Chains A and B, each alone.
Chain A
Amino acid sequence: MTMLPSTGREEAELVAQNASADRYDRFVRLAQAIFGAPIAALNLISKESQFTVASVGYPKGEIPVEDSICRVTVEQDHAIEVRDLREDERFASLPEVAGGPRIRFYAGTPVRGQSGQNIGALCILDLVPRRLGRQQLEMLSDLGALLERELAVQEEMDLAGQVQQLMLPTSAPDIPGVEIAGRVQPAREAGGDYFDWFVVNDPDGGGKRLQVGLGDVMGKGLAASLIASEVRAVLRGHSRYTDVGHAIMRTSTTTRHDLEASDRFSTLWVGRLDPSTGALDYVDAGHGLAIIASERGYRRLNQEYLPLGAPIEDTWTRASDVLAEDELLVVVSDGVFDVLDDSFEQVEARLDDILAPGLSCQQIVDGIVDFAVSNAATDDVTALVLRRVATAGADSPSAPSTF
């Protein structure tokens, strides 16, 4: 017997590890119903194990590959059936055939992974000998092909989501005097929400500034994430050379064609902070969900400008504020606002939670995102929180820890 190339085996193990609890259950349920079999399963075959990642009438889990029936199927290029496993020397002594549950009949179709190699099999089992016949075996193959497609799409989506996550800033910005954290929880694998931060040189020669932003491209999923990546990258490029207002105007001009062609718009809030003084320039392009909060209350940092991609060009001129040392800058996406019934009274009512003493920016961000997710947010959910902290050398007994 030839061994399956190792890449297929490794891929099988990866897919098995990433398979969510019930993602492929409907395929095995369908197989069970179509063929009237008591057991149907999707088994992935790695070097050492068979992983049952979806099943009916049979427990999910892992068994040694030597005890697997599907290990034979993954080495075929077509569906197979075995009328009576007890009469086939390849299977007669397997534990599940010789002992409980005393499986007699097997039909399975190989399932390919992204590599093009077989990684497992969709199978049906019965406790009595039987025969499917050519037509039904073809149906089993068709179902296997559908499942392959599902696996492929899922893997693509997962990868897209991972790439999008990798585009988010993860390390603290290289500028003293700030603590910052952000998090995106897309409704699907990828989404139209993102946040960003990076250090730019003030175009007026004032030194280093921290630019932060949060954008929300209309819609959800992969299509929205493509546009979000574009807006993010274009804004990053323009931000190096000019103030936030002009950076947004140029970003609008550069992305206009793509936004219009896809009938999408993007809300965007961008701020640029001098951590040493708290001076904050910002532009609100139809986002509306940035506040500065402290124990003294909160104020919104919103303007009247349209989102990018609206039918008319706006002027997007920067406004200014000052972030005091005891204040928090909080920017969220409408996925958070939705669970607050799109109401600022509700925002105000929740302020104590984010202003509780001793919380790090990361804890505040997690608190906001987890709150939205646990309240059944249906949209992408994003939060960005920033505050000034005393720089090294300064007297600061209560400086919050950075991550």
Chain B
Amino acid sequence: MSFEEVDKGTHVVLAPEGKFNMVAAPPLKTRIDDLVAAGKTHLVVDLHGVDFIDSSGLGALIGGLKAARQQGGDLRIAAVGEQALAVLKLTNLDRILSPYATVEEALHDW
């Protein structure tokens, strides 16, 4: 599993694909940590290509969110599929990781 990465200057968009699980999540989390350490603290994870997310995937997003916020930035998720929405809602993690419909909407105040 690989993920697309586009650096837009003001923010970076990461787009994992397929199953975002215990195999795919750690590399993305490592990349987020590297980006945050390099001062890229405004991140969008575009989930349009993800058809399944498990708790490890959620953990990577929450960990990334934490890392970004600690450096004064934020991590937002966009184009979240039905299954991922259900998991976010069930765990109440949508309270801190609000899903945006599109990447553009996620950027609204950046």
Interface of A toward B, CB cutoff 8 Å: 192, 216, 218-220, 260, 263-265, 267, 286-289, 303-307, 309-312, 334, 337, 342-343, 378-379
Known: A265-B62, A311-B69. A218 touches B92 (CB 8 A): no
Contact code string B3-31 (vs A, CB < 8 Å = 1, else 0):
00000000000000000001000000100
Known: A267-B91, A334-B90. A218 touches B29 (CB 8 A): no
Give CA–CA (A303, B92) in the complex, Å: 8
A310 touches B96 (CB 8 A): yes
A306 touches B95 (CB 8 A): yes
Distance of A301 from chain B, by nearest CB (Å): 13
On chain B, the residues within 8 Å of A379 by CB distance are 54-55
Asked if B58 is at the interface of the complex by the 8 Å CB criterion, the answer is yes
Give CA–CA (A310, B56) in the complex, Å: 13
Known: A220-B22, A311-B69, A343-B86. A305 touches B92 (CB 8 A): yes
User: What does DSSP make chain A's interface, helix, strand, loop or mixed?
Assistant: loop
B90 touches A289 (CB 8 A): yes
B86 touches A342 (CB 8 A): yes
On chain B, the residues within 8 Å of A304 by CB distance are 92, 95
On chain A, the residues within 8 Å of B86 by CB distance are 342-343
Give the top 9 A-B pairs by smallest Cβ distance, nearest first.
A218-B55, A263-B63, A286-B91, A288-B90, A342-B86, A311-B66, A218-B59, A286-B92, A219-B56
Contact code string B87-108 (vs A, CB < 8 Å = 1, else 0):
1001111011000000000000
On chain B, the residues within 8 Å of A307 by CB distance are 91-93
In the complex, what residue of chain A is closest to B68 when comparing beta carbons?
A: A311
Distance of A330 from chain B, by nearest CB (Å): 16
Give CA–CA (A267, B93) in the complex, Å: 10
In the complex, what residue of chain B is closest to A192 when comparing beta carbons?
A: B55
